[in-house]
Amino acid sequence: MGVLGECWLGAGKKAANIVGIFPGTGVGGGIIIHGEFLTGAQGAAAEIGHMQIDPNGPLCTCGNTGCLEASAGRWAIERDICAALKSGEKSLITKIAGNNIQQIKSSMLAKALTAKDPLVTRIMTQAANAIGRACVSLNHIFNPDMFLFGGGVIEACGDMILNTAEKALKNDPFFKQLKTPRVVASKLGDDATMLGAAAMAIKKTHTLGKISLYPTLRLSPSKKPLVKGKVISKTSFLRADGKLKEPKETLSGKIGQNEIEDLIRKSPDVLWIAARSPKTITLTPKANGVLKKKKIACAILPTAKALAAYNASTDRKAILFYL
Ligand SMILES: [Zn+2]
């Protein structure tokens, strides 16, 4: 469901062929081919977590040995860390987790990784390598546009796993002459699954595509933006999840890092700034840096033009009405 959600409204919007890998407690999977969700004969397809990647690997919860999630799921990472601690290895994780070492949360792993804890780094590297190997095989089978990663472990330690997967794909001699698929992280976070379930329900009723998160914007007779029949009379913005919000801080003509981070919450692909006189607005270098890093396009336009651009776009989008 998470992959379907991302495909509808998140990081997978522009891809027709997606392999989704969601390492959380286990490793979830979802595959979309030519825009269609792969379910298999009995609805049991795309169990990427139970792909056997190591014949001599550890026992999995499913009864097989050497499944991907038996190396890369959070439960497997926990198991390996506990075993190493029992054998006498020292790690920051005992301090980070307090007394409850049986329940190592993804955020704790992230803290230990940032602190370059040798034990956690080693075990997380093993997990990431296992995911990299799985990606290489999945690439051969499905040749997707993108590998889409989500789930708790990715939200906490995504950079490391995504980099490892990307490297494994780039180093694959079989695919040397072909383009490496994109490796991207989820944009919808915890909302992905629920939105995916909604997508499936809508698809069942054959209306997907006609429904949008976003309202159609118009200009009021007084030339102010009109959102769902309401005239916008003070500076506010439509966030990427379609919600109308007011900026946390009062905006001046110079938009800085904090202000821009507020505007791009919920991860849009594109942000418009609609203003009566666009020339009076600038972004600080830091704000531009944030947009560049997150690959978010931004344009400052006169109100009517910005509204038209917003309406025409099928991207995940946000717009600031600067009044
Ligand atoms: Zn298994």
CATH of the domain at 230: 3.40.1230.10
Using left for φ > 0, alpha for ψ between -120 and 50, and beta otherwise, residue 100 falls in beta
Displacement of CA 71 from its chain's centroid (Å): 22
Rounded to the nearest whole angstrom, what is the distance from the C-alpha of residue 113 to the centroid of ligand 1? 26
Sheet holding 146-149, edge to edge: 36-37, 27-33, 18-23, 146-149, 182-185
Rounded to the nearest whole angstrom, what is the distance from the C-alpha of residue 72 to the centroid of ligand 1? 11
Specify whether 56 is located in the same domain as 155.
Answer: yes
Rounded to the nearest whole angstrom, what is the distance from the C-alpha of residue 134 to the centroid of ligand 1? 13
Rounded to the nearest whole angstrom, what is the distance from the C-alpha of residue 313 to the centroid of ligand 1? 42
Specify whether 34 is located in the same domain as 174.
Answer: yes
Specify whether 86 is located in the same domain as 175.
Answer: yes
- What does the pLDDT profile of the chain (323 residues) look like in tens digits? 999 999 989 999 889 999 999 998 899 999 999 988 899 999 899 999 999 999 899 999 999 999 999 999 999 999 999 999 999 999 999 999 887 777 888 899 999 999 999 999 999 999 999 999 999 999 999 999 999 999 888 988 889 999 999 999 999 999 888 899 999 999 998 899 999 999 888 877 765 555 677 999 999 988 899 998 899 999 999 999 999 999 998 888 899 999 999 999 999 999 999 999 999 999 999 999 999 999 999 999 999 999 999 999 988 999 999 98
Rounded to the nearest whole angstrom, what is the distance from the C-alpha of residue 74 to the centroid of ligand 1? 13
**pLDDT reported for residue 206:** 64
267: in domain: yes
CB proximity list for 216: less than 8 A, separation 6 or greater: 311
The residue to which tokens 């439509």 are assigned:
238
Q: What gap in Å lies between CA 308 and CA 257, rounded to an integer?
A: 26
Split into its structural domains, the chain has a count of 2
Rounded to the nearest whole angstrom, what is the distance from the C-alpha of residue 228 to the centroid of ligand 1? 49
Q: What gap in Å lies between CA 156 and CA 145, rounded to an integer?
A: 24
Rounded to the nearest whole angstrom, what is the distance from the C-alpha of residue 146 to the centroid of ligand 1? 24
Specify whether 231 is located in the same domain as 318.
Answer: yes
Rounded to the nearest whole angstrom, what is the distance from the C-alpha of residue 66 to the centroid of ligand 1? 7
Rounded to the nearest whole angstrom, what is the distance from the C-alpha of residue 62 to the centroid of ligand 1? 4
Specify whether 177 is located in the same domain as 251.
Answer: no
DSSP calls for 23-76: ESSSEEEEEEETTEE---TTS----GGG-B--TT-PBPTTS-BSBTHHHHSHHH
Q: Domain of residue 316: give its range.
A: 218-322
Specify whether 131 is located in the same domain as 39.
Answer: yes
63: in domain: yes
Rounded to the nearest whole angstrom, what is the distance from the C-alpha of residue 50 to the centroid of ligand 1? 4
Share of the chain above pLDDT 90, in %: 79
Using left for φ > 0, alpha for ψ between -120 and 50, and beta otherwise, residue 2 falls in alpha
| Cβ 227 vs Cβ 240: under 8 Å | no
Specify whether 156 is located in the same domain as 268.
Answer: no
Amino acid at 235: T
Which residue, of 204, 227, 243, is where some domain finishes? 204
Specify whether 144 is located in the same domain as 10.
Answer: yes
Rounded to the nearest whole angstrom, what is the distance from the C-alpha of residue 81 to the centroid of ligand 1? 20
Rounded to the nearest whole angstrom, what is the distance from the C-alpha of residue 59 to the centroid of ligand 1? 8
CB proximity list for 44: less than 8 A, separation 6 or greater: none
**pLDDT reported for residue 208:** 55
Rounded to the nearest whole angstrom, what is the distance from the C-alpha of residue 69 to the centroid of ligand 1? 7
Which residue, of 182, 204, 226, is where some domain finishes? 204
Rounded to the nearest whole angstrom, what is the distance from the C-alpha of residue 73 to the centroid of ligand 1? 10
Rounded to the nearest whole angstrom, what is the distance from the C-alpha of residue 32 to the centroid of ligand 1? 21
104: in domain: yes
Rounded to the nearest whole angstrom, what is the distance from the C-alpha of residue 204 to the centroid of ligand 1? 30
Specify whether 171 is located in the same domain as 254.
Answer: no
60: in domain: yes
Which residue, of 152, 180, 204, is where some domain finishes? 204
211: in domain: no
Contacts 24+ apart (CB under 8 A), 168-173: 168/129, 168/132, 168/133, 168/135, 168/136, 169/132, 169/135, 169/136, 169/139, 172/136, 172/139
Number of C-beta neighbours around residue 179 at 10 A: 8
Specify whether 241 is located in the same domain as 149.
Answer: no
DSSP calls for 143-176: --SEEEE-SHHHHHHHHHHHHHHHHHHHT-GGGT
Residue 48: closest CA among 2, 87, 9: 2
Specify whether 140 is located in the same domain as 272.
Answer: no
84: in domain: yes
| Cβ 134 vs Cβ 75: under 8 Å | no
Rounded to the nearest whole angstrom, what is the distance from the C-alpha of residue 133 to the centroid of ligand 1? 16
225: in domain: yes
E-strand stretches of the chain: 18-23, 27-33, 36-37, 146-149, 182-185, 218-219, 225-227, 230-231, 236-238, 244-245, 254-255, 270-275, 282-283, 297-302, 317-322
**pLDDT reported for residue 31:** 96
By the 10 Å C-beta count (0-12 exposed, 13-18 middle, 19+ buried), 240 is classed as buried
Specify whether 166 is located in the same domain as 222.
Answer: no
Rounded to the nearest whole angstrom, what is the distance from the C-alpha of residue 51 to the centroid of ligand 1? 7
Rounded to the nearest whole angstrom, what is the distance from the C-alpha of residue 67 to the centroid of ligand 1? 5
pLDDT tens-digit readout, 27-44: 999 999 998 889 999 989
**pLDDT reported for residue 245:** 95
Rounded to the nearest whole angstrom, what is the distance from the C-alpha of residue 3 to the centroid of ligand 1? 20
209: in domain: no
